[in-house]
Structure 1
């Protein structure tokens, strides 16, 4: 993908197991990593990142399997993807950092917070539920909203073939249906997202398949062990709880010792639709624990 965040430097940085990530880095000051969601790349943070870079070192990687990062055939457990981000930050000279993630990136951030509590100082998750809770709340006809989750959870072969046969239609569906404001993702950015996804169908499917297998097992282990997110946590999401009949704040509260939960009128792509709101919330979170 040729589009870049203005003023940021780009480099390839090693994660784990020989995988290198495409990483945009800008600004100076306390470090924060911003992790993108589906079906996007690091470019989704372009507004928030430039604002935060005024007084922070901002690290925006393409997750493994996405964008211009390496796309191994397997190992898309969020545990591995979280270890990638910790390794990237360490390579850039940061032993601890704040993290904000959207969608898939939020699930990576959630796992990073559980696995690396001494590294992640603050955690923000945009428009997701923890994996176990996500599967539990989808039932009956309401589960239709998550059809892609079930499709990509199937054994290797089926989803990859179906999606690759009409990749632009598949990924474009989400870019259109999940946005409240069509202007938030202009035509050139949309084209860049579609180009990136078209080239990454197997790895994107592998990422989602892991959320129905390995990630579930890891979360169950943490739940049974009583592990919780120890750092200050902020969650912003659409009011899916009211729509689908669950208490999102309570679900998140079971995983976090220090939670700030709010809903937004923005659509799923809130960092692009309402960047000022998201940036303000990040800055508010970063003051937690410093009073």
Structure 2
């Protein structure tokens, strides 16, 4: 499956080749998907933005139809993929929006490539360092998958592979507030893609419990922050779990617009007009 009206390309990243959907014309906007999805999660937002932007929707390294190497899943390496893909498509600067795992890649791209990323949007995440800090007590049960996939290679891959459809469908069902947001054919495409990518998906999550924490901590110690305009939209996890999400994000950005949404986790599919409007507003800053 592909986004309606978009062309599929195989484009070199930083040592891997990514599957990339490209549509529209105008200033470039790159959209990065989350878990357990592929670039298809942007199908509504992307077609709207393509009216006046070149919209680039990759499958992240290890996901969808992109290459799935055995290692290289630090967000630094995954961000380098995106910068290289955009460059190979002719764009040395671009706006970047990411959801979930893609938002962590986008966050790292903003820190590592401030002269490339003109505007940044992160949907329904906290930066990795902050995410681990706020997970504690029984409230951490909501993130059980984070702890499972942080384990050394072997056990999580075996357990998830044994019940892959049940595992991944759990998130597609429980994280959505709108039950019809993900049509059956799209859900099937997500499950097919995840079933074929268990080791790389686990490697992506394992990196977030190891090297990604190190990279965030190094930036915090050095006082590095995001220089471009930043919009963050997330569910009100702060109220639910007892932390100030906006304050955590303000530590990383002096040009922050933070808002909560009543949509579920899959907000680009559940409330695409809200997300599209927010992207267009960000691009005016």
- Same fold by TM-score, threshold 0.5 exceeded? yes
CA distance, structure 2, for counterparts of residue 171 and residue 85 of structure 1: 25
1:257 paired residue number: 254
Count of residue correspondences: 285
1:41 paired residue number: 38
1:25 paired residue number: 22
CA distance, structure 2, for counterparts of residue 282 and residue 73 of structure 1: 34
2:233 paired residue number: 236
1:274 paired residue number: 271
CA distance, structure 1, for counterparts of residue 188 and residue 11 of structure 2: 25
CA distance, structure 2, for counterparts of residue 267 and residue 239 of structure 1: 10
1:14 paired residue number: 12
Q: Residues 164-243 of structure 1: matches in 2 within 5 Å? A: 164-243=161-240
Q: Kindly state the Cα deviation for residue 162 of structure 1 after the two structures are TM-superposed.
A: 0.1
| Aligned mate of 1:133, from 130, 135, 141 | 130
Q: Given the alignment of the two structures, is residue 247 of structure 1 paired with residue 244 of structure 2, yes or no? A: yes
2:2 paired residue number: 4
CA distance, structure 1, for counterparts of residue 208 and residue 158 of structure 2: 19
CA distance, structure 2, for counterparts of residue 183 and residue 252 of structure 1: 31
CA distance, structure 2, for counterparts of residue 6 and residue 141 of structure 1: 42
> Structure 1 regions of 5+ residues with no counterpart?
none
1:120 paired residue number: 117
CA distance, structure 2, for counterparts of residue 228 and residue 258 of structure 1: 10
User: Any idea what SS the aligned residue of 2:277 has?
Assistant: helix
Q: Deviation digits for residues 200-234 of structure 1, max 9, x if unmatched?
A: 00000000000000000000000000000000000
TM-score, structure 1 normalization: 0.98
| Aligned mate of 1:162, from 159, 172, 190 | 159
TM-score, structure 2 normalization: 1.00
Q: Deviation digits for residues 136-166 of structure 1, max 9, x if unmatched?
A: 0000000000000000000000000000000
Q: Kindly state the Cα deviation for residue 257 of structure 1 after the two structures are TM-superposed.
A: 1.6
